[in-house]
Copies of this chain bind each other. A is one copy, B any other.
Amino acid sequence: MSDLLERLRGRGWRMTAQRRVVAEVLNGDHVHLTADEVHAKAIAKLPEISRATVYNTLGEMVTLGEVIEVATDGRAKRYDPNAHRPHHHLVCARCGAIRDVHPTGNPLADLPDQERFGFTVSEVEVTYRGLCPHCAAA
Contact = CB atoms under 8 A, between A and B. Distances in A.
Interface residues of A, number: 41
Contact of A90 (B76, B103, B116, B130): B116
A16 interface: no
Given A71-B74, A103-B107, A104-B110, A121 B129 contact: yes
A69 B110 CA distance: 23
A130 B120 contact: yes
Given A71-B72, A71-B73, 10 more contacts: A74-B76, A74-B77, A101-B111, A101-B117, A105-B110, A108-B128, A117-B132, A118-B133, A122-B129, A124-B126
Interface of A: 69, 71-74, 76-77, 90, 92-93, 99, 101-105, 107-108, 110-112, 115-133, 136
